[in-house]
């Protein structure tokens, strides 16, 4: 099954090259890498980075949105443009281990009823932590949390005061790590803009993941840290 890896970008040229290269390096080779620029002010630098990588690897493609409308629209535009059966994302300031896509695809092959899948992630504040955590797993065994358990955790969190995001108990998942069948998008599960006054709609990722999980109950979690979340970029501005 061909996987589309969408990299939405907005003014992140300083991290984008590393993000693209971590997608290129995936052990799962049947992928398309779509870099979607969401009206960046550094667009020329973005184009140059994408052009250099696409010259090296023709799986890298570029979508240029003329003005900044938000990550939600960038994701929808990318999904609309691809025919890949499976969709996943990688933020422009993040990276992932080389076996992430392969291990996620293995879950869909092993569990045909699963339509939507998330993974765990590493918190990375420094380049050294990012580099260390890109190491691939040395096992073929998959640590899967099955859909009934995932749905129960998510609904319990939604019903708990003070929890206003996609909540999976002690299992920490990265919203951007979601992999799902494109058919979900075709039947109406789209990414929506935040700030609509809905509890889960604090981010495009948590809202999408919540709606799919709560509605269909066919979401699994690969309880492995297969995503490296850069915490101290201009997007997050966090300190350790």
Rounded average pLDDT per 10-residue block, the chain, 240 residues: 97 95 97 97 95 97 94 95 97 94 97 97 87 79 96 90 83 94 96 72 82 96 94 62
What angle do helix axes 71-81 and 204-216 make, rounded to 10 degrees? 60
Nearest to 109 by CA among 88, 85, 90: 85
Which residues partner with 9 through β-bridges? Answer: 37
Q: Which helix (H) or strand (E) holds 185?
A: helix 182-186
pLDDT recorded at residue 146: 98
How far apart are alpha carbons 153 and 223 in whole angstroms? 14
C-alpha 70/C-alpha 111 separation (Å) is: 33
pLDDT at 83: 96
The single residue listed with the structure tokens 């919540």 is: 210
Angle between the N-to-C axes of helices 13-24 and 43-56, in degrees from 0 to 180, rounded to the nearest 10? 20
Number of H-type helices and E-type strands within the chain:
8, 8
Q: What is the model's pLDDT at position 236?
A: 54
Task: Give the three-state DSSP class for 218.
Answer: coil
State the Cα–Cα distance between residues 42 and 28, nearest whole angstrom. Answer: 31
Would you tell me the crossing angle of helices 204-216 and 147-158 to the nearest 10 degrees? Answer: 120
Q: What is the pLDDT of residue 197?
A: 62
In this prediction, residue 139 carries a pLDDT of 80
Residue 24 phi/psi, 5-degree rounding, is -60, -35
Other Cβ atoms within 10 Å of 77 Cβ, number? 18
- Total Cβ atoms within 10 A of residue 13: 20
Architecture of domain 3-230: Alpha-Beta Complex (3.90)
User: To which H or E segment does residue 110 belong?
Assistant: helix 100-110
């Amino acid at each position: 099954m061909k996987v589309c890896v969408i990299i939405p970008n907005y003014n992140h040229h300083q991290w984008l090259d590393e993000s693209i290269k971590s997608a290129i390096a995936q052990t799962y080779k049947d992928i398309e890498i779509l870099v979607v620029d969401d009206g960046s002010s550094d667009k020329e630098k973005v184009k140059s980075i994408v052009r250099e990588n696409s010259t090296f690897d023709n799986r890298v493609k570029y979508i240029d949105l003329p003005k900044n409308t938000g990550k939600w629209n960038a994701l929808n535009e990318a999904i609309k443009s691809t025919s890949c059966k499976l969709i996943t994302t990688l933020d422009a300031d993040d990276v992932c281990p080389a076996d992430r896509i392969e291990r996620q695809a293995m879950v869909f092959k092993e569990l045909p009823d699963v339509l939507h899948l998330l993974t765990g992630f590493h918190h990375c504040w420094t380049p050294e932590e990012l580099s260390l955590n890109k190491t691939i797993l040395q096992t073929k065994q998959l640590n899967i949390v099955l859909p009934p358990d995932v749905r129960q955790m998510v609904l319990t969190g939604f019903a708990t005061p003070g929890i206003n995001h996609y909540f999976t108990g002690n299992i920490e998942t990265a919203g951007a790590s979601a992999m799902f069948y494109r058919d979900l998008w075709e039947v109406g599960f789209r990414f929506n803009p935040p700030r609509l006054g809905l509890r889960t709609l604090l981010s495009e990722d948590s809202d999408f993941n919540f709606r799919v999980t709560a509605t269909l109950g066919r979401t699994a979690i690969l309880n492995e840290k297969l995503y490296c979340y850069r915490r101290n970029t201009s997007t997050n501005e966090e300190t350790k």
